[in-house]
Structure 1
Amino acid sequence: MHRLFSLLLLLSFASVSVAQTYEITQEEDGLTVHYDGKLVTRYLKKSGSKPILYPLLGPDGVPMTRRYPIESVGENEKNDHPHHRSVWFTHGKVNGTDFWLEKEGEGGVIVHEKFEKISDGETAQIVSLNRWETPEGKVLCKDRRSITFGQDEGRQYFDYDVTVTPVDEPVTFGDTKEGTFGIRVAGTMKTDAKMGGTIVNDKGVKNKDAWAKQSAWVDYYGPVQGKTVGVTIMNHPSSYGYPTYWHVRTYGLFAANPFGVHDFVGKNVQSGDHTIKPGEEMNLRYRVLLHEGTTEEADVAGAFSRYEKVQK
């Protein structure tokens, strides 16, 4: 009897350890990430003019980002800003080229080159290499983006770390509010929906007043399918421009941007332009936490204190 109990216990632990892991599958248009058999997100190599993550599913599988323009317009969504594609990384002024807006034949394109690494298990990691091309096909710079999936006290997160390097000449990320690491939250979460959506930064500044402020993190929470959930973007202290400025809007745009100083602060300040010379690199590091409840209920401040201790 004792042997049987021990065997059952062992099988129980084995089944739990096998189930609660990440699995990444490769498909023609990108990668699909599952945790414990449930979809977390897909890495799409090309959507519009760039790679993105879509969909992004949070607690109980609820969608945390809007459907449009990847799919048809969802609940409380608008068919505006078609360049706001779920989760993305671009910038509005790179050596004068606009990679933020999607203007065919006019704007820049971020081209997926290859996946350098794909690993799954108790944590998962996707490392991709990409090149930034002007409308004329000139490559200005390249990026290596590492996306690491894990659990913070039972809650899903992913670390989005980007290293940008010039190709043949210096590359300047220009001073504009149109950037840089962005998320467009679900339509019911946005503050303007007046359904409880709330923006909060690390100093307790809320909603429209959080725009253009510097902060180590910002949380955006609200209802999705009857459940209060939130997305937090955290900026690591080792990231360029920490603590970053925030291009976060009550209509659902949620972006970290360390460059847009003139738009955020005013004209009588030093430019936010940042130039990377050949042989140098720029590192930007963010963690996205998907949680239940409000900012306080999720103890976002505590989650950030754990994240800021993470070494690269």
Structure 2
Amino acid sequence: MTDRFILADDPIALPQGAWAKTERRTLRRGNLPVLSLTQGHHRPYLFPVYTPQGFAVTSECPADHPHHNSCWIASDHVDCWMPAADGRKEQYTYNFYVNETFQGRAPGRILQTQAMGEETAAGYRITQEMEWRGPVEWAAPEGRLAARERRRLDLKLEGGAYVIDVESALSAAAWDLSLGPTRHAYFNLRVAESIAVTSGGRVVNDRGASGGAAVSGAGAHWVHYCGPVGGGHWAGLALFPDPRDHRDPWWFVADWGVVTVGPFRLEKRDIRQGETMTLRYRVLLHDGDLPAAVIAERYAAYLAGLR
């Protein structure tokens, strides 16, 4: 089996004259699937996501939170400052996190408009172009364009684990916008049910805290979820927010399997016209029951590569 990465459309057998409403493209290493680019109704996300031995470690649309889409980027509290008559600006408030109206904010959609893949010296790079569009409303039948995003995924096999470096560059469209303050942003993971603490897994951070309540809050450099995946095997994933973008990252982690980290839990982030907000993260997907000391070593190697 070759170790080359190949990105291809998933074949779907449909009757003549029918077409798929959304798409899924799968990245494979040889014959093994690594991850799939999925365009859901409300946002693009990565699902399934596998370890090198082929264990799926995330959950797509769990019944308790159907807007938890495996590995995804989203934000509640997105405000557009729209020009109005007499030089005034009006605040239009949207929600790009929950699939329904949430706390009075109508749901928008994040739409992938283009995706390109290419082999790199280290592995494979995927570049996606996105539009953040508000809901259908009066005078905006396709939804107002709130923001544009370029998302880059660099994937490689390193030290027996998959490493995904994610860079999200969010730009203002034709008006200024603000994100937050909210805990429902920005980078999110929903682990597979078997890995959750409630099913026998564990979640820890670099400070030695264990369990969702203890891990949640500010300041941790990384969070690691690990648990049983069947047949006596364990697998897990770790999330490293880039310290250049997250001086004091705020985490929301639950024993039932969600991990969210972002830089604007307490303060909003303004993005003016012509400006871009760039946030970066590393996801480590591994097989086995790795101790915290090994995750700490992988984080140290990540920091060294940023210099």
273, 276, 287: which one pairs with 2:282?
Answer: 287
Other-structure match for 1:58: 51
User: What does residue 8 of structure 2 align with?
Assistant: 25
In the TM superposition, what is the alpha-carbon distance from 1:106 to its structure 2 partner?
2.7
1:202 alignment counterpart = 206
Shift of residue 169, structure 1, vs aligned partner: 1.6
Q: Could you give the per-residue CA deviations for residues 65-115 of structure 1, whole angstroms, max 9, x where no partner exists?
A: 125x3xxxxxxxx51100001111000111131111001793011011112
Aligned to 1:256: 261
The aligned counterpart of 1:266 is: none
**Mean Cα deviation higher: 151-160 or 287-296:** 287-296
1:104-119 matched pairs, under 5 angstroms: 106-115=106-115, 117-119=116-118
Structure 2: where are the runs of 5+ without partners?
11-19, 80-92, 138-142
- Runs of 4+ more than 6 Å apart: none
Structure-2 change in CA distance of 1:228 and 1:297 (3 Å): farther
Using the alignment, how far apart are the partners of 1:298 and 1:86 within structure 2?
A: 26
Deviation digits for residues 160-191 of structure 1 (CA, Å, limit 9, x no counterpart): 11001101121111111112211110101111
The code of the aligned residue for 1:31 comes to R
Mapped to 1, the partners of 2:166 and 2:46 lie a distance apart of 11
Tell whether the 8 Å contact from 1:24 to 1:120 is kept in structure 2 after alignment. Answer: no
Letter in structure 2 aligned against 1:108? G
SS in 1 for 2:297: helix
Deviation at residue 298 of structure 1 after TM alignment: 6.9
Task: Quote the RMSD (CA, aligned, Å).
Answer: 2.0
Question: Is 1:276 paired with 2:271?
Answer: yes
Q: TM-score, normalised by structure 1?
A: 0.81
Quote the offset at 1:120 in angstroms: 2.6
Aligned to 1:11: none
Matches within 5 A, 1:290-309: 290-296=285-291, 299-309=294-304
Q: Residue 292 of structure 1 contacts residue 298 of structure 1 at CA under 8 Å; is this kept in 2?
A: no
DSSP 3-state at the match of 2:112: strand
Q: Secondary structure at the match of 1:82?
A: coil
- Equivalent position of 2:153 in the other structure: 147
Q: Which residue of 2 aligns with 1:187?
A: 193
Question: 1: CA distance between counterparts of 2:257 and 2:41?
Answer: 19
Aligned to 1:120: 119
C-alpha deviations, 1:248-278, integer Å up to 9, x for none? Answer: 11110111122122xxxxxxxxxx1010111
Q: Secondary structure at the match of 2:57?
A: coil
Give the distance between the partners of 1:154 and 1:204, measured in 2 at CA: 24
Partner of 1:268 in structure 2? Answer: none
Q: Aligned partners of 1:152, 1:297: CA distance in 2, in Å? A: 18
Amino acid of the structure 2 residue aligned with 1:20: D
- What secondary structure, in the 3-state scheme, does the structure 2 residue paired with 1:203 have? coil
1:206 and 1:295, CA in 2 relative to 1: closer, same or farther beyond 3 A? farther
Q: Is the 8 A contact 2:147 2:171 kept in 1?
A: yes
Identity within the alignment, %: 25
Segment drifting more, 224-233 vs 98-107? 98-107
Deviations 1:23-45 (A, max 9, x none): 1113571421011321011101x
Give, as a single letter, the amino acid of the residue that structure 2 aligns with 1:100: Y
C-alpha separation in 2, matches of 1:304 and 1:191: 22
1:4-58 Cα shifts (integer Å, max 9, x gaps)? xxxxxxxxxxxx7xx12211113571421011321011101x2130001111111
CA offsets 1:272-297 (integer angstroms, 9 cap, x no match): 10101112211110111011334426
C-alpha displacement at 1:213, in angstroms? 2.8
* TM-score using structure 2 length: 0.83
| Runs of 5+ consecutive residues of structure 1 not aligned to the other structure | 1-15, 70-77, 262-271
Between Structure 1 and Structure 2, the one with more strand by share is 2
**What number of residue pairs does the alignment pair up?**
271
Q: Which whole-Å CA distance do the structure 1 matches of 2:150 and 2:69 have between them?
A: 20
